[in-house]
Structure 1
Amino acid sequence: MPQTIRSNAHARTGRSRPARLAAALLCLAGLTACGGQGAEQAGGAAEQAPTASFTDKGVTVTLSIADWRDAKGTLKAVFTPEEKGFHLYSTDLPATGVEGVGRPTAVSVTGALRAEGKLAAAAEVRSISVPGVGAPVPVYPDGPVTTTLPVRADGTGEATVLLGYASCSTEDGCTIPVSDRPVHLRVTAEGPVFAPR
């Protein structure tokens, strides 16, 4: 569309090239200022962080990379149970759960990405009692849980995010746990890019 406006201006005005370019830029500025839908969509797409998502065993996981500067950034993973009343387990839960109950919410990276710190969750842990289990089990409140992991590039090339989780309901039981579910990406000089599904 902008090229069409510019070429029409060339045909009608006969102005010099710098003047025609200035006129075209004013036309484009006018379109942006008027809130043209195409301009807003293009700007929004440019500002979006790289993302990937999947749904497996009753949970949708959405991944994104934020604040990428100087080969460092934050890997964000949002775990959302599909059904109401389901919760996820604490990131600090042992790998095999408490007396075999539950699996930790886990995010790790391999390949050309390295973790720069510990996985953190933006939810408060609460303890629940499970029949037949002597110790309390640490879980997050029902619903989505957002986790963040500081990461850095270890050169360029292939990388993998590995995810683990299990969701449970006090009334409906548990879904099958997920362990080391891979999501692939490529680390470039500009930053990480998730591989197409």
Structure 2
Amino acid sequence: MILSAQPDMTVAGEAGDGAEALRLLREVRVDVVVMDIRMPVLDGVAATAELSTWVDGPRVLVLTTFDTDEDAFAALRAGASGFLLKNAPPADLLAAIRVVAGGDAVVAPRVTRSLLDRYVVPGEPPRPPVGRDVRLDLLTDRERQVLLLVAEGLSNAEIGDRLRVAETTVKTHVGRILTKLGLRDRVQAVVLAYETGLVRPAC
């Protein structure tokens, strides 16, 4: 009801599980899929992974709760463009859908905090990275600097203020970073930065 009431949104369909969603999406073209994690038959992570293989497939916004971060990160790695808590206010949901539809990603500070919690346990040494990614060698020094700030959860405007450059310049850098690394959006860039050890926060 909330989505249908928006003048710039149309609800193309609803599905009760991931398998049904994939069947529906083969028949109906959409821009954004709001995907639940916990579903019968085929869960949201598997459905998102399948959608990420489609040419010009829809972008995915995952719904999760505080205690399902592990699943949420699996969905991000599978190709989701962000995630939102189920108890988020309607205005936040609408804003997130518009951001994802516009080609960007939802990378809130909570996402970054959860990444820190995932890779760094207080009192223990940081988890080892999954391995060095040679694609990082393609980045210029400035692009690497921008990637580090993206991994902190900063917006383009905030990165521009930090580096004292125009927001449009930051957007250009981010676009080049995603192209060089073969990533869909900022969320996957954040995950890559942590998984490869580019970002190694202190305990």
For normalisation by structure 2, the TM-score amounts to: 0.22
- In our comparison, the structure showing a higher alpha carbon Rg is 1
Is the helix fraction higher in 1 or 2?
2
Is the strand fraction higher in 1 or 2?
1
